[in-house]
Structure 1
Amino acid sequence: MTTVRLPLFPLNSVLFPGLVLPLNVFEERYRALMRDLLKTPEEEPRRFAVVAIRDGHEVAPSSPGMPDPTATPQRGPAAGFGEDPARAFHGVGCVADAATIRERADGTFEVLATGTTRARLVSVEASGAFLTAELEELPEEQGDEAGTLAEGVLRAFRQYQKRLAGARERTLATGTDLPDDPSVVSYLVAAAMMLDTPAKQRLLQAPDTASRLRDELELLRAETAILRSLPSLPAADLTRAPTSLN
């Protein structure tokens, strides 16, 4: 088994390969991570791993931008994640490449990264200024009938979008802009659907593209049926995707 060690960035959301991730970084441990990534030359990938935090675990409050001004900040790279941080995270995440890292005058960072490949969490290390993880990168297998399934998912997704008329975010392009690669379709649809973190995590962890597309087809049909039964929805509000904060 070939593994790689990368900085670890836990989030309350799931990142998929090919998807863009904007980050507003204010916690000191993640500022340290970004300062370390900036040591990598611009022409080389500035890679880190994104993992979703399991339900019941909270991101530790920190001094600048602390959500609760009365809370006492916890310190250290594993603050808020318990004695064994690995147990606080889902076992499969996504490697990200930071295309831009901009440091603000107050020491916080504005980051734009893109998911590249899935990876399985092997171990987590908390001895430095920020968490690092040993990861096994996961190949994306197509599985049986992925192409046919992708066509069905795109048709179902269009119906789903129609039920969210007026929403301008988390939607896929139409017509000639739609991707041909079934795995790309599976990741785009997974990211665009209004699902909770556990559901998105299950899609990320699917054993192959065809399995993910089958699950998405089932989810899309169920969600569309629910939306059809409702008289109206504040779609723009429901689908608004804020910048991830950490």
Structure 2
Amino acid sequence: MSQPHQFPPDDLTELPLFPLNLVLFPGMRLPLHIFEERYKAMIGDCIERDAPFGVVLIKEGPEVGGPAEPHHIGTSARISQVQHLEEGRMNLLALGERRFDLAEIVQETPHMVGLVAFKSESLGDIPAGLADEVGTHYEQFLKHIGTLAGSWNAPVQIPEDPLDLSFEAASTLTSSVELPQGIRQEILEVETVADRLIRLLPLLQRANELIQEQLAKNNPYRGPSLN
């Protein structure tokens, strides 16, 4: 994992933080059930101000109750849907927006608040054909998980923009297969689109291999392909 950086004060924004046992990527949908008093207040304030909050993976400590130490790279999220329940509880859907670097935690209670620097996304030096190759394997992955879910021949759309492709593929892959949280965090922390695509390619290839094996087990009457 990379280390925290020093930032000019003008580059820093105060952001309420939600430490969770998950990694959120830009563009990723995040359903949450809010029941702790501290997060009822935090989310209520975000709703009132139409303001984002930050999601950070917990490095050490519990998700519920006591204090948690977060990783310093996270993603801001904006609330898109809210269902209000009894006793102030809420079901909500948020959408990942922008990666940030957590420079300093300025408040621990009742909920965590940090000074963050939002990250600029850099394409880097993308090798020729890499985005197309990742797109091909991602399309195959979407079709495979659709087949496992019973959605035979469902149409899929692949982002043409390499940045959008890198985040969407990361979001879908990490939401659909078992990966250690450390690997998910490493993918989030990758600085350039090129390096993220390079990191994702073997993961998509391996995921497709495993799903193909699962599909073959689910269809024992299917003979070997001659192609």
Q: Pick the TM interval, shorter chain.
A: 0.7 to 0.9
Corresponding position: 1:153 with 2:137: no
Corresponding position: 1:209 with 2:193: yes
Deviations 1:2-26 (A, max 9, x none): 0101110111111111122121111
User: Which one-letter code corresponds to 1:39 in the other structure?
Assistant: E
Structure-2 separation of matches of 1:130 and 1:14: 19
Corresponding position: 1:167 with 2:149: yes
8 A Cα contact 2:23 2:184, kept in partner: yes
Name the structure 2 match of 1:32: 41
Change in 2 beyond 3 A, CA 1:35/1:163: closer
Runs of 5+ in structure 2 lacking a partner? 1-7, 219-227
TM-score, normalised to structure 1, is 0.73
Change in 2 beyond 3 A, CA 1:147/1:179: farther
Structure-2 separation of matches of 1:37 and 1:226: 41
Name the structure 2 match of 1:113: 94
Structure-2 separation of matches of 1:34 and 1:93: 17
Runs of 5+ in structure 1 lacking a partner? 61-73, 82-87, 234-246
Name the structure 2 match of 1:57: 61
TM-score, normalised to structure 2, is 0.78
Structure-2 separation of matches of 1:167 and 1:197: 24
Structure-1 separation of matches of 2:105 and 2:150: 38
8 A Cα contact 2:67 2:108, kept in partner: no
User: Which one-letter code corresponds to 2:148 in the other structure?
Assistant: G
- Give the 5 Å matches for 1:125-136: 125-136=106-117
8 A Cα contact 1:147 1:182, kept in partner: no
More helix by share: 2
Deviations 1:147-183 (A, max 9, x none): 83221112112333455432379xx962xx3211111
Structure-2 separation of matches of 1:57 and 1:128: 15
Name the structure 2 match of 1:10: 19
- Give the 5 Å matches for 1:79-118: 79-81=66-68, 88-118=69-99
Structure-2 separation of matches of 1:168 and 1:154: 22
Structure-1 separation of matches of 2:71 and 2:48: 28
Give aligned-pair identity as a percent: 29
Name the structure 2 match of 1:64: none
Corresponding position: 1:190 with 2:170: yes
User: Which one-letter code corresponds to 2:95 in the other structure?
Assistant: T
Structure-2 separation of matches of 1:89 and 1:139: 21
User: Which one-letter code corresponds to 2:192 in the other structure?
Assistant: D
Corresponding position: 1:122 with 2:106: no
Q: How far is the alpha carbon of 1:95 from its aligned partner?
A: 0.9
8 A Cα contact 2:13 2:117, kept in partner: yes
Structure-1 separation of matches of 2:137 and 2:25: 20
Local SS of the residue matching 1:8:
strand
Give the alignment partner of residue 48 of structure 1, picking from 50, 53, 75.
53
Local SS of the residue matching 2:129:
helix
Change in 2 beyond 3 A, CA 1:198/1:168: farther
